[in-house]
A and B are shown apart, each in its own frame.
Chain A
Amino acid sequence: MTAYKIASEGIAKQLHYKRLNHLQALEAESLHILREAVAEFARPVMLYSIGKDSSVMLRLAQKAFYPGKIPFPLLHIDTSYKFPEMIAFRDEYAKSIGAELIVHRNEAALADGASPWKLGTQNCCAALKTRSLLDALNEGGFDAAFGGARRDEEKSRAKERVYSFRDAAGQWDPKNQRPELWSLYNSRLRKGESIRVFPLSNWTELDIWLYLYAEQIPIVPLYFAEEREAVIRGGMITMVHPGMRLLPSERPEKMMLRMRSLGCMPCSGAIRSHAETLPQIIQELIGFRRSEREGRAIDHDEEGSMELKKREGYF
């Protein structure tokens, strides 16, 4: 009978469309959003962060335009502080699915020696992520940018629209957002304005992992536990990475570690874990009672810090 299959080894499910499971319902909504944006914007781009959410978003883009190719380029904002494993994965994966990849760096700031140690995490993010992103969007003439942000990530994101309007300066005004009803998205813009489109708005972290598993989507190996060298710095497990300067008191130790959320090397904390496969990660996650962004230095600078960043144009 009517069936819609989630392909995966061992867990293939034949389901009637009248009885979609939540992953299929989420997928359907995301495909609709991706197509709607491509139909209505002149020059969309997908912000590709190499993380697990980006991996899901990319698969959804492949599905939305099948049997055609993904009809927009991927844009990676490279701070130069990303893990080498991320960069290798990015280049290989984009090539394997035949996607166009744009890499953008704030070269001027990097030449000035921008780093979290020199500028502090907030200013470093502002220069290497936010500024760099806005410049890249301007240079490319992009009027819409797909992002993998989810509303469940952080409190300030709970109010984010699927189509998030940005003024000509790339800023977000939380008090002046366009109402969003049904699945009718308003894509009308004046020159210089743009929209961030979030196809994963309604996905949770668990949904992402379940989908990665059900769809057998490749992700960066850093997500899987492995014995890695690290030091504990300011309560955060920091993996020893290229370019890292150890403090005199720091003695790197080998630990079973993995990343729960990928960011820049100095500011992303690892977690102790023995989860070496997707099923193990999911099992671990169900037992977790900590939100995933907690390991990120940028969120805890002050209460409501994410909201401040968003107003300035950060995702």
Chain B
Amino acid sequence: MSSQPQNWEMQQEHSREQRFREFLDSHLEQEMLRFTTAGSVDDGKSTLIGRLLHDTRSIYEDQLASIRASRVNRSGGEVDLSLLTDGLRAEREQGITIDVAYRYFSTARRKFIIADTPGHEQYTRNMATGASTADVAIVLIDAKAFQRAGELLPQSRRHTYIASLLRIPHVVAAINKMDLVDYSAEVFDQVSAEFSELASHLELNSIEVIPVSALSGDNVVERSQRMDWYSGPTLLEYLETAPLALREAADGPLRFPVQLVVRPNAEFRGFAGRVERGEVRPGMRVRALPSNRVTTVKRILTYDGELPAAGFPLSVTLELEDEIDLSRGEMLVAETGSAPHVHSSFRAMVVWMHEQPMNEGRTYLAKHTTRTVRASVRRIRYRVDIQSIGHQQSSQLQMNDIAEVEFTTSLPLFFDAYADNREMGALILIDPVSNATVGAAMIMGAVDEDGQDVSSDEGQSEEQEAALVWLRGLEQEAVELRDRIRQAGRAAVILDDQLIPDESLPAAMRALQLAKVTGISSRSDLSQATLASLRDLAGPRFYTTAEAAATLAHAWTNQEAQP
């Protein structure tokens, strides 16, 4: 017996393994891109997604067989690809997508996550949802409808506006149904010109316009033979090369909101969180907010070993050189470089998402990074008319309204403008009674009592003015004192909120101090430890009687009166 066959088998085995390793290597080079699609019911959006999935061979045979066998076919084509993405019964019955659906496919270069959102008028909130995590937005424009109307439909303007509002880094207009306008370069040029005009008006920095036919597959994955006048990328080529948002988050100073404290034993204390912005390295000097203590990062821990550096979107655990007070809702930031705003008044663009309207004066819960506070609607500056993208007066927001709103929060937030960093400038609004998520807000900047913009440096520099007051059990006096201080033109809040347990009071007070807000509490019993840290924080400006605090308010009133 010769050893020939055995050798041959081994070689076969070897080359198979080789091929697999190559495959694996290529997969471990694959990046992940998230994109969202916006289009109205008739723009052919579901068909476009079906086409992307189909032509990248992301559809399983049984799924394809099931849509071939389906009684429903609205497409006019051989197979209704839109059925691949319409999930729920109600949708199948009504023939429209009613919610955000997530789809996945991959090519050799990238894994893609699609947030498929409906473009129906009442569903602005869904598009905002899908857009909030996207690197790229595809806005579908129906070429035939454009030709008929002679201009962009209001829905296309609306979708583009929302993409710009949510600051999706890259927006691509897919001019669909080119088959219905005879693949005309002229029609494409007209749509393209109008879209570019709109994009520049909305300050969209990165746009692309691509002529496609989702139904027949032109320029989606395969290059069209029928539009030789077009030399730009196909839709898939564009998606495979668009820059990822995570690279943009790496710029700027460190922001590390603490998610939770990891304490497996008495010797170790680590701070678990996600690096939202900038970069953290061992040996780096960091400042804790709100305590303002500065310390050094000792190690960046992960299950897979220590890291020499970490940035967004990595979730890590930081060990610090010094024992400092730090818990969930607080933040580590770069010692140098621009600090986040520490402020309890800000203005933000709001997308209202609930049937119950938003009213001026109402208070909601606001979740921002890892911090949840109460936020009151001080003023609705204007409502955006979604058709004209102009401003309107309004004291109330209905579902799907977009508006600029001034808020005051019960405790200061540590934030950056949404335009500078998504994670540091985004918050959701929650109804305190029903617990429904009722709105989304993108912070534009800090404002003072009169609604004037405040720069982040002003918020940070002086803190000596704020006092801490504990009026044990004296609720009425606490309210009177707060009003007196406010009359003197200073900010003051009462911190007797169930959201803040006693042991978190010092940290909350500290945050107020940074924001130059006097914190008042009338809680009945505080532990010795809590009292000691309050004293420690405020020094001579810790007051425990209404009289003493009143003297302070009086002094401020006089100061204010001076020229």
- Residues in chain A within 8 A of chain B (CB atoms): 1-7, 10-11, 13, 17-23, 25-26, 28-29, 31-32, 35-36, 38-39, 62-69, 151-152, 155-159, 174-175, 177-184, 186, 188-190, 201-202, 204, 206-207, 210, 213-214, 279, 282-283, 286, 288-291, 294, 304, 307
Contact = CB atoms under 8 A, between A and B. Distances in A.
Given A13-B28, A22-B110, A174-B90, 12 more contacts: A3-B308, A11-B28, A25-B313, A36-B370, A38-B260, A177-B99, A179-B125, A188-B365, A188-B430, A290-B62, A291-B62, A294-B60
Contacts of A177: 99
Among A29, A35, A286, the most chain B Cβ lie within 10 Å of the Cβ of A35
B104 A182 contact: no
B79 to A, nearest CB: 15
A67 B301 contact: yes
Nearest to B436: A178
A304 B87 CA distance: 8
Contacts of B41: none
Contact of A65 (B30, B247, B262): B262
B259 to A, nearest CB: 5
Interface string B502-526: 0000000000000000000000000
Contact of B307 (A4, A63, A159): A4
Nearest to B87: A155
B246 A20 contact: yes
Nearest to A288: B60
Interface string B183-212: 000000000000000000000000000000
Nearest to A151: B102
26 contacts: A18-B311, A20-B313, A20-B314, A21-B29, A22-B106, A25-B313, A28-B313, A32-B315, A39-B370, A66-B301, A67-B268, A67-B301, A152-B104, A158-B103, A159-B100, A178-B436, A179-B129, A186-B430, A188-B430, A188-B435, A202-B102, A279-B20, A283-B16, A286-B23, A291-B63, A294-B62
Contacts of B308: 1-3
A166 to B, nearest CB: 13
A58 to B, nearest CB: 12
A20 B32 contact: yes
Interface string B370-396: 100000000000000000000000000
A266 B357 CA distance: 52
Interface stretch (B419-427, B467-475, B476-484, B552-560): B419-427
Contacts of B21: 10-11
B367 interface: yes
Nearest to B90: A175
A307 B315 CA distance: 33
Contacts of B126: 179
A28 B87 contact: no
B260 A183 contact: no
B480 to A, nearest CB: 32
A61 to B, nearest CB: 10
B428 to A, nearest CB: 5
Contacts of A290: 60-62
Interface residues on B, range: 35 or more
A199 B426 CA distance: 21
Contact of B315 (A28, A188, A279): A28
B531 interface: no
Interface string B88-110: 11101000001111111010001
Nearest to B309: A2
A32 B263 CA distance: 18
A156 B87 contact: yes
Contacts of B315: 28, 31-32, 35, 64
A288 B59 CA distance: 10
Given A18-B311, A174-B99, A158 B85 contact: yes
Nearest to B97: A159
Contacts of B98: 175
A60 B227 CA distance: 48
Ordered nearest first, which 7 A-B pairs have the shortest CB separation? A31-B315, A188-B435, A22-B32, A63-B303, A22-B111, A68-B264, A181-B132
B81 to A, nearest CB: 14
Among B63, B110, B125, B422, the most chain A Cβ lie within 10 Å of the Cβ of B63
Interface in B12-38: 16-17, 20-21, 23-25, 27-32
Contacts of A2: 307-309
B220 interface: no
Contacts of B405: none
Nearest to B370: A39
Interface in B540-559: none
B295 interface: no
A110 to B, nearest CB: 32
